[in-house]
Structure 1
Amino acid sequence: MSGGSGGAVRRDVFEYALLRVVPRVERGEMINAGVLVYCRAQGFVGGRVHLDEARLRCLDAGVDVAGVRAALGGYLGVCEGGAAAGQAGGDEPGRRFRWLTAPRSTVVQPGPIHTGLTADARAEVERLLDLLVR
């Protein structure tokens, strides 16, 4: 890939994981509801969510949507860091990403980690959300 000046565009390795909502863990059915992206070279960890409530209610009509939204918001808070994110908020981006992607057996779960190359990790968040969630 080349840039407008004829030079090569720097592309960095990034990692990402989907956030999945599994309203009835015993059934294993899920929908994708968000994405987490980490790029060490760019010092970036971030995420976005998009919860399709109608699809979620197809899996479980009685699902606690407010609880799911709160859990998804918690993931985004840890991405942003700071005091509001609790103890993990002071960690560097890589440690926060590893904490966020640790396996869980709860209604909101991170999926497996995948990798890619990007010139702009922030833009990858939106691209992956459009491609894999919306």
Structure 2
Amino acid sequence: MSRHAFQYAVLRAVPRIDRGEFVNVGVILYCQGLDYLRASVVLDPVRLRALDVDVDLDAVSTSADAVVLACRRPEGTARENTGLAYTFGQLTAPRSTVVQPSPVHAGLTDDPEQTLAGLLTRLVAPPA
């Protein structure tokens, strides 16, 4: 199997922008070589409420789900200006909203779906 370079960012819920505290809630993974762009989200209300008891869980869920949906919308191939690379860039651009991306990181994968699941387990799932 050949390995392909990929990039990913962690989605962070920031219930109170003024405090800057966050909980990881998802991962966006982009692999140009395989024309793959997906996001997966797991919200933990207990962890979010630990940062802000009045957190708007619906707003966090809606924002995170919008990223997942944006990754599934057909945008052309990775090599087109309006393709997956452009979408990944838009989704990982810094912003001051209730759901924010982390800096972008890179790696190698032979199965981006499995890599996404592994990153979600390692970086987002509540500690066991």
**Both proteins in one fold, TM over 0.5:** yes
> Hey, what's the Cα distance between the residues in 1 that align with 2:26 and 2:40?
6
Q: Does 1:61 align with 2:47?
A: no
Structure 1 segments, 4+ long, off by >6 Å, are none
Q: Does 1:120 align with 2:111?
A: yes
Give the structure 2 partner of residue 130 of structure 1: 121
Give the structure 1 partner of residue 89 of structure 2: 98
Kindly report the root-mean-square deviation, in angstroms, between the aligned alpha carbons of the 2 structures: 1.1
Q: How do 1:1-134 and structure 2 match up within 5 A? A: 9-82=1-74, 91-134=82-125
| Largest Rg, 1 or 2 | 1
Q: Which sections of structure 1, spanning at least 5 residues, go unmatched?
A: 1-8, 84-90
1:60 corresponds to which letter in structure 2? Answer: D
Q: Which sections of structure 2, spanning at least 5 residues, go unmatched?
A: 76-81
Offset, 1:82: 4.1
TM-score, L = length of structure 2: 0.90
SS at match of 1:41: helix
2:87 corresponds to which letter in structure 1? Answer: R
Deviation by residue 1:74-96 (Cα, 9 ceiling, x = unmatched): 0001000149xxxxxxx311111
Name the count of aligned residue pairs: 119
2:118 corresponds to which letter in structure 1? Answer: R
Q: Quick one: percent identity of the two aligned structures?
A: 43
Give the structure 2 partner of residue 88 of structure 1: none
